[in-house]
Amino acid sequence: MIKVAPSVLAADFSILKEELVSLEKAGADYIHLDIMDGNFVPNISFGAPVIKELRKCSKLVFDVHLMVEMPERYIEDFVNAGADIITVHVESTKHLDRTIELIKSYGIKAGVTLNPATPVESLKYIINKVDMVLVMSVNPGFGGQSFIEYSLDKIKEIKNMRPDVDIEVDGGITDITAKRVIEAGANVLVAGSYVFNGDYKEKIDSLRGGK
Ligand SMILES: O=C(CO)[C@H](O)[C@H](O)COP(=O)(O)O
Ligand SMILES: [Fe+2]
């Protein structure tokens, strides 16, 4: 089953609650929430208080992608705000195992993610502890960038390493790249600019292959 996770980074921030309701009606599975600290990535987005407000109006799975230095400092805040999945970058913490254990201790799902140039080998000892691996197919920090081709090799390597782990892909996903990442082994698709530029239902359906 392919899951679609629209990234609200491309939504109209002045009507975020309405956007979530529309996405739920259009068949989204998750809502992908990009948290940027202006340090780990060269951009600032929003924080836990925004998620807490959105939680009041949506039953969708809240998929929180932390692009922040030392994410262990904020896990509790995002759990309290209503996160269902929290994903941290291997490059963002000296204590990845401890951070993954911390996320799991709250009874929610833990994900781990890699910047494009970070090799899959860095997952060797952590992959059996996580629920999801997020493959960044653009350099994190901004929406609307082009898909990096070698991400396909990384997806295949992760699939070989642990066939049952959820593999999410984030960055430059369109109907065309979606088909390719699914063939490579991905089952969760993040899409920002593609979904928000047009009819949400048509766009979400097209990511699943037009069904
Ligand atoms: O994590 C992200 C950027 O760092 C976003 O989730 C991603 O870029 C989505 O945007 P688009 O689908 O437009 O590429
Ligand atoms: Fe993201």
Cα–Cα distance, 3 to 29 (Å, whole number): 6
What would the pLDDT profile of 4-17 be if each residue is shown by its tens digit?
A: 999 999 999 999 99
Q: What is the DSSP letter of 66?
A: E
Which residues, 6 or more positions from 74, have their beta carbon under 8 angstroms from its beta carbon?
A: 35, 48, 66, 68
Q: Which CATH number fits domain 3-207: 3.10.450.50, 1.20.200.10, 3.20.20.70, 3.10.620.30?
A: 3.20.20.70
Check whether 210 has a pLDDT greater than 80: no
Q: What is the pTM of this model?
A: 0.98
Atom index in ligand 1 nearest the CA of residue 136 equals: 1
Share of the chain above pLDDT 90, in %: 99
pLDDT of amino acid 190: 98
Do the Cβ atoms of 140 and 92 come closer than 8 Å? Answer: no
Ligand 1 closest atom vs CA 41: 4
C-alpha span between 112 and 133 (Å, rounded): 5
* pLDDT confidence of residue 211: 52
- The pLDDT of 126-141, averaged and rounded, is 98
The interface predicted TM-score of the complex, written ipTM, equals 0.98
Sorting pLDDT into bands at 50, 70 and 90, what band is 100? very high
At 209 the pLDDT is: 85
d(CA 1, CA 185): 11
Instruction: Ligand 1 pocket test: pick from 9, 46, 92, 145 the residue with the most ligand atoms within 8 Å of its Cβ.
Output: 9
Residue 145 CA: which ligand 1 atom is closest? Answer: 14
Residue 79: the pLDDT is: 98
Q: Which member of 29, 34, 37, 63 is catalytic?
A: 34
Is 34 designated active site? Answer: yes
Domain boundaries, the chain: 3-207
Residue 67, exposed/middle/buried by CB under 10 A (0-12, 13-18, 19+)? Answer: buried
Catalytic site residue 170? yes
For the chain, what is the mean pLDDT? 97
pLDDT surpasses 70 at 58: yes
Asked if 164 and 198 count as a contact pair (C-beta separation under 8 A), the reply is no
Residue ranges at the known binding site for a divalent metal cation = 32, 34, 65, 170
What tokens were used for 116?
């494009």
Q: What is the pLDDT of residue 182?
A: 98
Question: pLDDT per residue over 169-189, tens digit each?
Answer: 999 999 999 999 999 999 999
- State in Å: Cα 160 to ligand 1 middle: 25
**Is 66:86 a contact under the CB 8 Å cutoff?**
yes
